[in-house]
A and B are shown apart, each in its own frame.
Chain A
Amino acid sequence: MTAALIGFAIVLILVLMRLPIVFAMGVVGTLGFAYERGGSILDARGLKAAMSMVGRQITDTAQDYGLSVVPLFILMGLFVNKGGMARELYAVSNAFLGHMRGGIAMATVAACGGFSAICGSSLATAATMSKVAMPQMRRYGYSDELSTASIAAGGTLGILIPPSVILVIYGLLTETSIGKLFMAGIIPGLLGIFFYLFAVRWTVWRNPSAGPAGERANWTERLRALGSVWAVLLLFFLVIGGLYGAFDFEPLNLTFSPTEAAGMGAAGAFLIALFRGGLTVESTFEVLKETCFTASALFAVLIGAQIFSNFINLAGLPEALIAMVTAYDVSPFVVILMILGIYIILGCVFESLSMLLLTVPIFFPLVTSLGYDPIWFGILVVVVTEISLITPPVGLNVFILKGVVGDVSTGTIFRGVTPFWIADIFRLALIVLVPIVVLYLPQQMGALGH
């Protein structure tokens, strides 16, 4: 137990020294494993055992069939994005919402939700959408608070709405069904959009000049805007529907495994981009290249996380935590609250993925031993890490936005973000207190016979 805590502290220090996470977790995991096996980090027998574990993790992880969803979903996102999806989504939401008070900020939230459904990275969503939405909101005289906050907060929506790379990684770390995790993310993700829309309404209700109404688009314009995104929306429903088992009837009998869904999604996005004329050989190569780089870095980090997690488990940290909780007779609910508190604090330093990799191996056994559902916990972790991205004083999304927009102070953005943050806390409370919000869809999926 002590060894595991020391190891964890060393990883934190190394990571803060900017050592890539894979190396930090890898070296501490290996030496820690050797220590647990041989009684010293330099014990020959212990090191030998540790190295065979490492060798196996490296060769097995890269050849894990289930992991092939990672590059394929990233590829799908990049192909879709290649066609100027961010701009088009924004145009659609604007056509439908722009005429209301605060409507352009609401459109921003909706477009962020839609874009991140495909993109899967909060920071990238915030960076992309700020370029599209910020000029528009400025033109209509929206306050800096509301316009930056709607982008910073909207960016956090992405990683819940499938396909989500971070949920894939949670699924692999904990051996939880990726298909069910995806289904579980849908309702909380949509709730996130609705709660944020309320936050915008609340802001303009308090201060009507923060978000004046834009022009009303007529139905011809609305349908035209919709026409540019229908193919991608269809692809999205095909992929998610196939995963859910919605096409599992005669004569189709089509149900996708996560890998198949990802492959269909990527190939479909490629074909859409091809037919719309947005692809050249060079741009296709660029997309493939970027995907390979991202996937390679993700795999590396996963290998590191697994080495570290092997050490943590061997050192008995999860068991020690469980024993402690039992000995002090802490109620399971209090344990969850404490874990959520730790995430909010860690979120000051780490972005979602790093946080997930570091903490899930420790908390997951504890939470499941208390009788909580692994899928529910996955969604909870993702929601809380996203909240930390807009939590003062160091929410990363806010700083990304400050970097892109430039002439707005972080104080202003944090002020604007407050109603969104409160909306998030309500959503978190709802997920904690009413788990069926998360579990309904995955349970239905089970009922269909998967």
Chain B
Amino acid sequence: MSPLIQLLRRASVVPVVVASIALFVLMMMTFCDVILRSAFNAPIEAATELTRILMAVLVFSVLPIISTTNGHIAVDLTDGLFNRLHLSRVRDLIIHLVCGGMLYWPVQRVWILAERARDYGDVTEYLSIPTYLIGWFITLSLAVTAVVMIATGVLRFFAPHILSEPAQ
């Protein structure tokens, strides 16, 4: 089991790199767009649609990672109470299972929307990028998020040693 976890940990760098590149491109593109527009009156026409796509990529690439590393915005006011009652671990298990499980429906729905866009042959205005590709990407991200949340919840509860960080 452990080597698999190691492998997954290594692999989790990939989406982070993808998201970082998307963000860097977004930054440079916006910068160049302003410069080109004001100095040479030649804006990047596809900037708007590329911005949309890059945003979806950067947000959804890292969603599975923040979902399993306590990256979501939450209120920790009752942490002390749960700790005193020794219920923190049970609570975390339930939260992971519930959150992962409830993603089933959005996954299904976003998938349907993507397939519909594919049937209609929707493409973006300037670059004619098929929009269903973005839909697929979001579906994939949500599905991965659901699976890893459930897996993380279960492993943390029943076999925390597998997930413990290797000594540096």
Q: Which residues of A contact B (CB under 8 A)?
A: 15-23, 26-27, 30, 51-52, 54-56, 58-59, 62-65, 67-68, 71-72, 75, 252-254, 256, 259-260, 262-264, 266-268, 270, 285, 288-289, 291-293, 295-301, 349-351, 353-354
Contact = CB atoms under 8 A, between A and B. Distances in A.
B110 A260 contact: no
Contacts of B45: none
Contacts, number: 177
Given A267-B31, A292-B61, A20 B72 contact: yes
A293 B31 contact: no
Nearest to B145: A300
Contacts of A17: 78, 91, 95
Given A17-B95, A260-B34, 5 more contacts: A22-B72, A62-B59, A63-B55, A268-B31, A297-B66
A281 B109 CA distance: 39
Contacts of B79: 18
A23 B67 CA distance: 11
B51 A65 contact: yes
Interface string B1-38: 00000000000000011011001101111110110001
B99 A20 contact: yes
A289 B38 contact: no
B73 A267 contact: no
Q: How many of chain B's residues touch chain A, expressed as a range?
A: 35 or more
B95 A18 contact: yes
Given A253-B38, A254-B38, A289 B20 contact: yes
Contacts of A63: 52-53, 55-56, 134
A13 to B, nearest CB: 10
Contacts of B19: 288-289, 292, 296
B38 A264 contact: no
Given A58-B110, A296-B63, A264 B20 contact: no
B30 A263 contact: yes
A297 B71 contact: yes
A10 to B, nearest CB: 13
Among B28, B71, B79, B106, the most chain A Cβ lie within 10 Å of the Cβ of: B106
A291 B74 contact: no
The majority secondary structure among interface residues of chain B is: helix
Contact of B31 (A65, A263, A351): A263
Contact of B110 (A55, A264, A270, A300): A55
Nearest to A267: B31
B58 interface: yes
26 contacts: A18-B74, A18-B78, A20-B72, A20-B73, A21-B72, A21-B73, A26-B102, A59-B135, A59-B138, A63-B53, A63-B134, A72-B26, A75-B23, A254-B38, A259-B30, A263-B29, A263-B33, A266-B30, A267-B27, A288-B20, A288-B24, A295-B23, A295-B59, A301-B73, A349-B75, A350-B75
A55 B113 contact: yes
A354 B75 CA distance: 8
Nearest to B77: A349
B62 interface: yes
Contacts of A253: 38
Contacts of B38: 252-254
Contacts of A301: 72-73
Contact of B113 (A21, A56, A295): A56
Interface of B: 16-17, 19-20, 23-24, 26-31, 33-34, 38, 48, 51-56, 58-63, 65-66, 71-79, 82, 91, 95, 98-99, 102, 105-106, 108-110, 112-113, 134-135, 138, 142
A21 B58 CA distance: 21
Given A267-B27, A354-B73, A23 B98 contact: yes
Nearest to B22: A292
Given A252-B38, A295-B58, A59 B98 contact: no
Contacts of A26: 102
Nearest to B92: A18
Contact of B73 (A65, A289, A297, A349): A297
Contact of A19 (B60, B98, B108): B98
Contacts of A19: 74, 95, 98-99
Contact of B58 (A20, A30, A292, A300): A292
A282 to B, nearest CB: 12
A15 B77 CA distance: 9
Contact of A55 (B53, B78, B106): B106
B26 A71 contact: yes
A99 B55 CA distance: 48
A259 B74 contact: no
A51 B16 contact: no
A286 to B, nearest CB: 9
The 4 A-B residue pairs with the shortest CB-CB distance, nearest first, are A263-B30, A20-B72, A55-B109, A267-B31
Contacts of A72: 26-27, 30
Interface-centre pick from B16, B76, B142 (highest chain A CB count, 10 A) = B16
B114 to A, nearest CB: 8
Most buried by A among B54, B74, B102, B134: B74
A350 B106 CA distance: 27
A51 B105 contact: yes
B31 A264 contact: yes
> Which of A18, A291, A297: most chain B CB closer than 10 A?
A18
A21 B74 contact: yes
Contacts of A252: 38
B75 A15 contact: yes
A271 B141 CA distance: 32
B168 to A, nearest CB: 17
